[in-house]
Amino acid sequence: MATNRGTTLGMSKNYNENSSKQLAVINSMKPYIYLDIDHLDISPTSSRFIIADFGSSHGHNSIQAIKIIIQYLQQSNKLSTSPLVIHNDLPTNDWTTLFQLLAEDNSYHGVANGHSFYQQCLPSNCVSIGFSSTSIHWLSRIPCQIANYQFYTLAAENERQKFKQQAKFDLDAFIEHRARELVPGGIFILSIPGVDHQGIVPVSR
């Protein structure tokens, strides 16, 4: 979520109640999540097993995603110790709601990390599994104001180019920092909303 000053804030209230499409994306990712975990190449007896979700928002969808990951790790005998789960989002996120949901669920040990995921959020070589879904389409900043429209797909070509440049800059930074945080043999599972050949986000598909 961005402000008119170009900075990015946490998601607005009631996000958990209005993010069913984002949860549907996570559920549709299950075959890919399982496939990625099959390629996880670290010892199941490692003394530290960290799962990090980048862009956790208020927690409902994030917790569901983490439970999918943990359940498959257990089924495939790739987890012999209780993992530490790190939920990452901006400092302005509604952390109280996330903490309440973690307490109610109580199926894993979860902690919070309040940093922009466009910077390094965790120590190098510490994350076994990284995850992010429907998050990094939120840019680190608004590169320009779009005249008369809300969405960049309707912007003038010069405005769209500025958004494309910012998106590339942010994606490069995101990948660079996540690569540093992963342990050797670790995996990162990423889902990014995209546009079709007409430049339209196919939210109904």
**pLDDT tens track for 7-53:** 554 454 565 565 567 788 898 999 999 999 999 999 877 778 999 99
Tell me phi and psi for residue 121, to 5 degrees: -100, -25
The arithmetic mean of pLDDT across residues 59-82, rounded, is 94
Note every long-range contact of 16-24, with CB atoms under 8 Å and residues 24 or more positions apart, other chains counting. Answer: 16/57, 16/58, 16/59, 16/60, 16/61, 16/97, 16/101, 19/57, 19/60, 19/61, 21/203, 22/61, 22/133, 22/134, 23/60, 23/61, 23/64
**Range 84-94 burial, b when 16+ CB lie within 10 A, else e:** bbbbbbbeebb
**For residues 44 and 168, which has the higher predicted lDDT (pLDDT)?**
168
**Percentage of the chain surpassing pLDDT 90?**
67
The arithmetic mean of pLDDT across residues 184-196, rounded, is 89
Tell me phi and psi for residue 45, to 5 degrees: -95, 10
- Extended beta strands in the chain, E state: 50-54, 84-89, 109-114, 127-133, 182-191
Residue 53, sorted as left (phi over 0), alpha (psi -120 to 50) or beta, turns out to be beta
- Burial level of 168, CB count in 10 A (0-12/13-18/19+)? exposed
Q: How far is CA 15 from the centre of its chain?
A: 15
> What's the CA gap between 102 and 142, in Å, rounded?
32
CATH architecture for the domain at 19-191: 3-Layer(aba) Sandwich (3.40)
**For residues 7 and 125, which has the higher predicted lDDT (pLDDT)?**
125
**Percentage of the chain surpassing pLDDT 70?**
85
**How much is the pLDDT for 111?**
97
**How much is the pLDDT for 202?**
60
Q: What is the pTM of this model?
A: 0.86
